[in-house]
């Protein structure tokens, strides 16, 4: 048995790890370059409770571990060994001898770096000494509430945003020098990275993980990723990481049967198997697994300064029957289908993250109707602070695919979301999942002719941006990528040279800017008082009108959407205040690819009551158009705006 103190390991930490509450496990486990007595070397520590013997192997010993056997620390199931004269860059694995007499070569579950696939070794890496330059960003995060701030997320798959050619990836640093400026200049507030944890198969897009603590080596080393994140923060851009605690892949060098037994996935294969994805679910009831996963969430925020996690596939975690065939159905101890262990895990995860990082973003990608996902755990909720609104997304994409002449019979698809819009704190996602595998690109989902597709996408984006909820757009959507997303090819940047796509890009950047400037569009996203219908029932003409309100009395915007292919030259809408209104954005402006060379900038209300309001405006509604109006001045007041955003 090893003496833990002699190699710098706390027995109390191992006790907490076994109990499920060591939330900085990465400081103990993995490969750590340290000085022990007078020797510099690497301390290796791994959990393998049912192993007969564990050794460290690598180039340094010719991949034969006879001289580097690890020692078991008490009855913790934890093995450790200090190897002198090793340092960062050392490639290693654990040679695990099982009780059944097998010899397994396993990557380190806590490895901070991995070899570039197809190689599968772990790499010793020093990740704790990066010099950060984001103090101002960290200070600002503590002073604002994400619920009352603009949040416009640009979702990115690093391999295919840009590349030098097939499997010739840009480095994290090269991406930083281009992506950060692009995102900042386009008006996005955050980027969301598809999983960059180490994964063996490019086709999985990072969602089938083998190295939860290792940033993928496809783009460089961990400190290069830190540089990318640092650059984002210096430009005022937050960074969200797609995080995948719901399942892991079955590759031999990974977590599956790690010590010859199912210590990460659990012994009940009916619960462990994810047949839809060919993966395994974590055993959320196992305390050491809880320490492993919660520590991983903390690790990305602590060591890499990640601002938040988008937690993937929550529905698959909390439902024991999710995508399971009849022969694999199981029930909890009360006879229900809820995964009680997973629900408890998610609650502790969120409580722990917010304990250490109160300003973090914890966003649930949840397609279920589970209630109170974004309510605090002390109120019975799961404890996330945001949730993807999958219902809105599905309804709207179905609606936009309809011929405009059919829409009057499906008016509920654009209005129903407001019935539940404030039941959770929502993000409205237009994500990668909607533009792959035969689903068509967003532009190609729109019905109608080539011209109408662009008009409808501008309309759709306008409605999306002004609907309550934070926003997420997958890369390429900003210029109307026509083809589906291809994970192994760069985006079709050449489309920007074509007028229609270039105009769409200009429209989206302008829409982004207007969104950021109009506080009424985001200050009260989570407050029912921030939204009012003006005209909700006009299914016959497929027109809706609504108002968004900010905190100030006269901080409001009027949104008018004509989802029909008909022109309404004199359409009257009610408004709450007499005075002057200005167009902040008109989707049919020629600068955006529309038909109007000079959209009317200023409109004056009349005292004709309409839609239950004391005043009204008469608008020209082109077919398939979006208009955003702002209250500029009262009858006797001076202008609220000296310049008109979005109409340049």
One of 95, 265, 365, 492 is an active-site residue; which one? 365
User: What are the backbone dihedrals phi and psi of residue 558, each rounded to the nearest 5 degrees, phi first?
Assistant: -110, 130
> In the block, which residue shows the tokens 């995508």?
323
Concerning whether 174 is annotated as a catalytic residue, the answer is no
DSSP E strand boundaries for 166-304: 168-169, 190-193, 197-198, 211-215, 238-243, 273-274, 279-280
> In the block, which residue shows the tokens 């302008």?
510
> In the block, which residue shows the tokens 């690497």?
42
Do 169 and 157 touch, CB atoms closer than 8 A? no
- Annotate 426-453 with three-state secondary structure: EEEEECHHHCCCCCCCHHHHCCCCHHHH
Distance CA(96)–CA(65), nearest Å, equals 10
One of 95, 312, 492, 535 is an active-site residue; which one? 312
Instruction: Tell me if residue 534 falls in helix, strand or coil.
Output: strand
Concerning whether 365 is annotated as a catalytic residue, the answer is yes
The angle at the Cα of 292, spanning 251 to 111, to the nearest 5 degrees, equals 55
Distance CA(211)–CA(202), nearest Å, equals 14
State the DSSP H helix or E strand holding residue 526, giving kind and residue range, or none if neither.
none
Q: What is the DSSP string of 290-336?
A: HHHHHHHHHHHHHTS---EEEETTHHHHHBTTTT--GGG----TTS-
Distance CA(212)–CA(207), nearest Å, equals 11
Residue count of the chain = 648
**Alpha carbon of residue 323 to chain centroid:** 23
- Which residues lie across from 319 on neighbouring strands? 338
Distance CA(155)–CA(474), nearest Å, equals 5
Instruction: Tell me if residue 80 falls in helix, strand or coil.
Output: strand
Distance CA(208)–CA(278), nearest Å, equals 9
Do 601 and 630 touch, CB atoms closer than 8 A? no
Distance CA(194)–CA(433), nearest Å, equals 11
How crowded is the C-beta side of 522, counted as CA atoms within 13 Å?
Answer: 23
- CB-based burial, 124-157: b 16+ in 10 Å, e otherwise: bbbbeebeeebeebeeebeeeebbbebbbbbbbb
Sign of CA dihedral 302, 305, 310, 313: negative
Distance CA(457)–CA(450), nearest Å, equals 11
Quote the tokens at residue 588.
Answer: 């049919």
Active site residues: 312, 365
């Amino acid at each position: 048995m090893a003496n833990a103190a002699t190699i710098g390991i706390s027995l109390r930490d191992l006790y907490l790890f076994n109990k499920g509450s060591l939330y900085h496990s990465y400081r103990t486990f993995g490969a750590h370059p340290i000085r022990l007595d007078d020797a510099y070397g690497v301390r290796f520590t791994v959990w393998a409770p049912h192993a007969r013997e564990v050794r460290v192997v690598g180039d340094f010993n010719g991949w034969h571990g006879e001289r580097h056997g690890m020692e078991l620390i008490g009855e913790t199931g934890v093995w450790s060994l200090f190897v002198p004269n090793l340092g960062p860059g050392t490639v290693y694995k654990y040679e695990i001898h099982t009780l059944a007499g097998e010899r397994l070569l396993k990557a380190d579950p806590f490895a901070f770096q991995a070899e570039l696939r197809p190689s599968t070794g772990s790499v010793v890496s020093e990740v704790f000494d990066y010099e950060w330059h984001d103090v101002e960003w960290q200070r600002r995060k503590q002073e604002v509430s994400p619920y009352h701030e603009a949040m416009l997320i640009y979702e990115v798959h690093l391999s295919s945003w840009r590349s030098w050619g097939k499997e010739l990836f840009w480095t994290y640093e090269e991406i930083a020098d281009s992506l950060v400026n692009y995102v900042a200049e386009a008006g996005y507030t955050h980027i969301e990275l598809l999983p960059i944890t180490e994964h063996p198969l490019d086709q999985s897009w990072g969602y089938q993980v083998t190295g939860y603590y290792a940033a993928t080596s496809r783009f460089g080393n961990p400190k290069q990723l830190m540089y990318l994140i640092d650059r984002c923060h210096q430009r005022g851009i937050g960074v969200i990481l797609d995080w995948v605690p719901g399942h892991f892949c079955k590759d031999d060098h990974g977590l599956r049967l790690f010590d010859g037994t199912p210590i990460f996935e659990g012994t009940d294969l009916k619960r462990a198997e994810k047949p839809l994805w060919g993966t395994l679910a974590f055993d959320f009831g196992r305390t050491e697994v809880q320490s492993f996963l919660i520590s991983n969430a903390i690790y990305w925020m602590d060591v890499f300064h990640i601002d938040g996690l988008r937690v993937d596939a929550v529905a698959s975690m909390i439902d024991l029957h999710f995508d399971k065939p009849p022969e694999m159905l199981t029930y909890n101890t009360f006879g229900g289908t809820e995964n009680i262990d997973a629900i408890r895990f998610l609650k502790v995860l969120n409580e722990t993250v917010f304990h250490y990082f109160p300003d973090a973003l914890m966003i649930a990608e949840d397609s279920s109707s589970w209630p109170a996902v974004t309510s605090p755990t002390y109120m019975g909720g799961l404890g996330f602070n945001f949730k993807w609104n999958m219902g809105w997304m599905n309804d709207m994409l179905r609606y936009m695919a309809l011929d405009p002449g059919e829409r009057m019979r499906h008016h509920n698809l654009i209005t129903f979301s407001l019935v539940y819009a404030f039941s959770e704190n929502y993000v409205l996602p237009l994500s990668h999942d909607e533009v792959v595998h035969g689903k068509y690109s967003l532009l190609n989902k729109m019905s109608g002719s080539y011209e109408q597709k662009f008009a409808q996408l501008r309309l759709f984006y306008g409605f999306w941006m002004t609907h309550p909820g934070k926003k997420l757009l997958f890369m390429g959507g900003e210029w109307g990528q026509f083809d589906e997303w291809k994970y192994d090819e760069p985006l079709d940047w050449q489309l920007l040279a074509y007028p229609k796509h270039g105009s769409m890009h200009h429209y989206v950047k302008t829409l982004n800017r207007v969104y950021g400037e109009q506080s009424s569009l985001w200050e009260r996203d989570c407050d029912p008082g921030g939204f009012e219908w003006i005209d909700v029932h006009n299914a016959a003409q497929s027109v809706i009108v609504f108002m968004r309100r900010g905190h100030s009395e006269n901080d409001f915007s009027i949104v008018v959407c004509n989802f029909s292919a008909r022109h309404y030259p004199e359409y009257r809408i009610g408004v709450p205040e007499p005075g002057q209104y200005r167009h902040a954005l008109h989707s049919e402006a020629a600068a955006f690819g529309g038909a109007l060379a000079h959209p009317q900038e200023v409109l004056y209300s009349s005292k004709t009551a309409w839609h239950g309001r004391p005043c009204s405006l008469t608008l020209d509604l082109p077919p398939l158009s979006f208009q955003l109006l702002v209250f500029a001045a009262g009858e006797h007041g001076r202008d609220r705006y000296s310049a008109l955003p979005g109409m340049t």
